[in-house]
Amino acid sequence: MTDIIKRTNGTKVAFGDVVRLCKERSKDPEADGFERYIGLEHLEPSDLKVRSWGDLSDGVTFTNVFRPGQVLFGKRRAYQRKVAVADFNGVCSGDIYVLESKSEQLLPELLPFICQSEPFYDYVIRMSQGGLSPRVNWKALEKYEFALPPLEDQRRIANVLQAVVKTLNCTQQISTAAATAYLAALKDFFYCATGSEPADGTTSIARGSKWKWRRVDEMFSLQLGKMSSKKAREGKEHAKYIKNNNVLWGEFSLDDLPMMSFNKREREKFSLEPGDLLVCEGGEIGRAAIWPEGHEDIYYQKALHRLRPKTAETSTKFFMHYLRACSANGILNRIATGGTILHLPQERLAELRLPFPSFSEQGKLIEILEALQQALEKSRRRSDHLNSLKNQLFIEGMTP
C-alpha cells in the first residue's frame, strides 16, 4: 500500500486537543427553522453518509443541533460503529456526539475517518461503561491519543479515502439493486401461491406453463431434530449440533457449535446429508439453507426441520427460494402457531399445499434466482474488500 499512501511523520495529539464537542442547542427546533432529526436508528454501521432521518413534525424532544460538515458519532453502543457526516441542518439524539475540527492542525475532511478507524474504536469500546447499553463519555474520548500527520499529508490521505468511499457507495447501491431484483423475482415467480387452489389442482401461469398444487410432504420427508436438554448436554457420546441461529438464508454459520450426546440410534435419525434442506421452526420461521458437503458428525436440534427429497426430481434449491417467497408474502405466518413468538409445526409445514412447476422449469427459475444472488454476493464481497482497504490505507497513512 505504500505506493498509494506513504507513511508520514505524525505529531502525537490528544483527540480533545484537535476536536471540539459541539454543544449548540435549540429550545424550540421547529420555531428555529429545523425540519429534520436524526436518532441512532438513522445511522448505518460503517456508512459515513446520512441516508435516513425523521420529520420533526412527528414530535421528538431532541435539542442537540448539528450543521453540515459536522461529524455525528454514536456514543451509545459504540461497537455498532455508527459515524456519519451531516449534510443538512437538524437536531439529533443525546446519544450522538456532534464533533468538528477545532484546530488548524486537523483537516476537517479527515475527522470522520479518524472516528471510523480501528484504533479509535478499540479505544472507544474499551472505555465504554454500562451493561446492556454501554456509553463512552467525552472526558474519556478527548484523551484518546494518535499520531497526526502534517496538513499536506492529511489532505492526501483524505483524498484517497474519499475516493474509496465513493467507490464503496456505488458498490452498495449495486448491492441494494441486486437485493431488490431478487425479491422482485420471488414475487413474480411465486405470486400464484397467494391465491386459492383451483378445483382441478392446477394453476395456469402467465408464462404459459401450468403449476400443479402439491403438499410439501408429497415431495419431502420431514424430521425435526433432537430436543436439547440438560441431560443431553451432560450425557456421553457428544457430538456437535446446529441450532436455529446457525441457519441463515441460503447459508450456515458453523463457528463454535454446541455439543450434546447422540447415541447410535439418534445419530441415524438426526443425521445430515449433503442436499438436506434445514428449515427454522421458530425465530424467523421458514429461514432455510441446504446442507453442504464436507461436514461429518454434525447433527441438529428440534428447532429445525430437516427436509430430504423423496425423488431425484425434487429440488431442495427450488423449495429454499420458494420458502423465502412464502416468508415474504405472509404464507408461513398464516400457517404458524403461537402469539408473539411464532412457530412452524411439522404437521403444518407437511400439510402446506403450494403450486409447483415441472422439474425442468424449476431448474430454469433456479438459474435466474441464483444469478441474482451471485450478483448480490459479489457486490457484498466487494464492499467488504473496500471497507478493509479503507481501514488499511488509513492505518498506513497515519502510522509514523
Secondary structure (H, E, C), 223-246: EECECCCHHHHHCCCEEEEECHHH
Nearest Cα residue to 320 out of 342, 305, 340, 298: 305
* 52-87 tens-digit pLDDT: 999 998 888 899 999 999 999 999 999 999 999 999
| pLDDT digit string, tens, across residues 281-310 | 998 999 999 999 989 899 999 999 999 999
Are 11-171+381-398 and 210-356 the same fold in CATH? Answer: yes
Backbone angles phi, psi at 357, to 5 degrees: -80, 180
Single-letter amino acid code for the residue at 244: N
**CATH number among 3.90.220.20, 3.90.1070.10, 3.30.300.180, 3.90.480.10, domain 11-171+381-398:** 3.90.220.20
Domain ranges of the chain: 11-171+381-398, 210-356
CATH assignment of 210-356, given 3.90.220.20, 3.30.465.10, 3.40.50.720, 3.40.50.300?
Answer: 3.90.220.20
> What's the predicted TM-score (pTM) here?
0.75
In the predicted structure, residue 215 carries a pLDDT above the cut 90: yes
User: Among the residues of the chain, which ranges form H helices?
Assistant: 15-18, 111-115, 118-127, 138-141, 151-189, 216-219, 230-234, 264-269, 316-328, 331-335, 346-351, 359-398
| pLDDT above 90: residue 25 | yes
Cα-Cα-Cα-Cα torsion 258, 260, 263, 268, nearest 10 degrees, comes to: -30
Instruction: Categorise residue 275: left if φ over 0, alpha if ψ from -120 to 50, beta otherwise.
Output: left
pLDDT tens digits for range 232-242 = 888 788 999 99
- Summarize the confidence of residues 18-27 as an average pLDDT: 96
| Cα–Cα nearest to 97, from 121, 129, 67, 64 | 64
* Local structure of 345: helix, strand or coil: coil
Mention every residue, 6+ apart, whose C-beta is less than 8 A from residue 57. Answer: 30, 35
Asked if 99 and 22 touch (Cβ cutoff 8 Å), the reply is yes
In whole angstroms, give the CA distance from residue 43 to residue 80: 10
How far is residue 333's CA from residue 336's CA, in Å, rounded to a whole number? 5
Question: Would you say residue 8 has pLDDT above 60?
Answer: no
Q: How many CB atoms lie within 10 A of CB 65?
A: 19
Judged against a pLDDT cut of 80, whether residue 315 lies above it is answered with: yes
pLDDT exceeds 90 at position 397: no
Q: How far is the C-alpha of 76 from the C-alpha of 44, rounded, in Å?
A: 14
pLDDT for res 2: 42
pLDDT for position 399: 63
- For residue 93, pLDDT beyond 90: yes
CA dist., res. 352 & res. 358, Å (int): 18
pLDDT recorded at residue 400: 55
**pLDDT recorded at residue 9:** 67
Which whole number is the average pLDDT over 332-355? 93
Give 295's DSSP letter: -
Q: What is the pLDDT of residues 248-261, one digit of tens each?
A: 999 999 988 999 99
